[in-house]
Structure 1
Amino acid sequence: GGFPAIEALEIILSQIIQDISAKPQSVVEVIVAIYGRVAQVIDIEAVIKEVSQKSD
């Protein structure tokens, strides 16, 4: 099968946590960072779906 979205989310969340703990940030900055990464995941999912449909 393809690359599980859950695994991608776990990796991205761990990166966010590292980024946040590296330097103090406001709640707003943290939320913006999370939304930015989540948007990347959604784009990744769309690409994976397209590729897997074309290969069928």
Structure 2
Amino acid sequence: MNGGLDRFCGDPNVCFIPVLKSLAKVEIHAQGGHDFYLKYPKWFSGKVLEFLKSTEKK
């Protein structure tokens, strides 16, 4: 982060890494490539919606 956003960052070991470990997921779409959200918008939006609903329950 840079600019004005850096003042809102706390200790990365406390604020960032535990959140990243609990929320991070790796999604793979074999035929997607780097622009899979353009080639497969229905698949991508379904994965985003599933992620948002799963984090809402926690």
Fold match, TM over 0.5?
A: no
Computing the radius of gyration from Cα coordinates, the structure with the larger value is 2
Q: TM-score range by the shorter chain?
A: 0.3 to 0.5
Query: So what's the TM-score if we normalise by structure 1?
Result: 0.45
Which structure carries more helix by proportion? 1
Query: So what's the TM-score if we normalise by structure 2?
Result: 0.44
